[in-house]
Homo-oligomer: A and B are copies of this chain.
Amino acid sequence: MIHTPYLLYLGNETDDLAVKTSRGVAQWRPSLCIGQYRNPSCPISLGLPDIDLHEAVLRGAKTLILGIANAGGVLRQDTVKDVVAALEAGLDVASGLHVRLRDQLVIADAAARYGRRLFDVRDPPAHLPIGNGVKRSGRRLLTVGTDCSVGKMYATLAIEREMHRRGLLADFRATGQTGILINGSGVPVDAVVADFISGSVEWLSPGRLDGGWDLIEGQGSLFHPSYAGVSLGLLHGAQPDAIVLCHEPGREHMRGLPGRTLPDLATCLETNLVAAKLTNPNVRAVGVAVNTSRLEAQDAQRVCAKVSDELSLPCQDPIRTGVNLIVDKLLE
C-alpha cells in the first residue's frame, strides 16, 4: 500500500504523453494530490500548485509519484538526483517505470539511509496463489476491450466515480501501472508469471460481504495476439458479474500490429461473455464505453447511438458524457 497524499513529479519532461501517469493521478485522485514538482523550465502543468520537496512534506505529502515515462523508459540523472532529494526530504517514492528504482544503487542506498520506501509498481507481489475458479462472494465488474489502450482504465474509474456519486460502495481494482499509482495498490497483471494470471486477480479481488462492487480494470484484448493470454486469465480470475466493452472508433489496426484489423464489437463482446462463463455463468454485458477523443462532438454522439442500437446496450464516452446510463443498466 502506497501512502497518501502524493506529490506528483513532472521533472523536466516536455511531452504531454510522458506525464500521462502523473496526469492520470491528478485527474482521478485530485483529493490525494498536494501539488506538482517540476523543473522551472518544464512547460507542462497538471493545474496543481507548484511546491518543493520540503514544503510538500510540511503539507503532509507522504509519497512522490514518479508518473513519467519518457521514450526508452530510462531514468535520467536529473531524475535520479530528484528522487534522492525526495527520499532525503522524507518522502517515499513510487514509480511505474520499467526501470526499477531498487536497481539504481544511488536510489536504493538513499532509501536505506533515510528509512524511506521505494515502490516499483511493475513488480508483482510475492506469493501469489494459483487461481482456482471457485465462486467468491461479492459482485464484480470487468472492463474488456477490442484492443489495448482503448480506455479500459478510464471507463472503470468513471464507473467508480458515478457509483460513489450515487452513494454506492464500489472499489476500483487496478491491474496496470498507471491504475496502481492512481489507486495506491493493485497487481500489474501483465508482469506476473504466466501460471499466476488468474490467481493474481483472485488475490486482487477477494470475496466481499459488504454488498459493494469491485470494479476491475481490464488489460489487452482477447483479440490481440500479443496479450490475449493475459486478457483471458484476467477474465477468468475476475469472474465478473458484469462486463463493459471498451472501444476506440477509427483505429486502422490493432495497437502495434499494422495490417491486423480490430474485431467487430458484437463478436468481441460475445467472445468475452462465452469465455467469462467458465467462472461465472451469470455474467452479463451492461454497456459499451467508447473513447471518442479524436471525434467531433456530433460524430461522437452518432457513433454512440449506432453502437447502442447494434448491441442493445447503453453506449457512452466516459469523459464526454459520463457513464450514468451504464451504471443504470448495471444496477437494473
Contacts and interface: CB of A to CB of B under 8 A. Distances in A.
A92 interface: no
Nearest to A223: B278
A194 B190 contact: yes
A230 interface: yes
Contacts of A260: 133
Given A190-B194, A195-B190, A229 B225 contact: no
A247 interface: no
Contacts of A107: none
Contacts of A193: 190-194
A288 interface: no
Interface stretch (A111-119, A163-171, A231-239, A303-311): A231-239
Contacts of A229: 194, 197-198, 229-234, 236
Contacts of A223: 278
Contacts of A192: 193-194
B198 A197 contact: no
Give the top 9 A-B pairs by smallest Cβ distance, nearest first. A229-B233, A133-B225, A197-B229, A229-B229, A190-B195, A131-B226, A232-B232, A225-B236, A229-B232
Interface of A: 130-134, 189-195, 197-199, 222-223, 225-234, 236-237, 256-257, 260, 275, 278-279
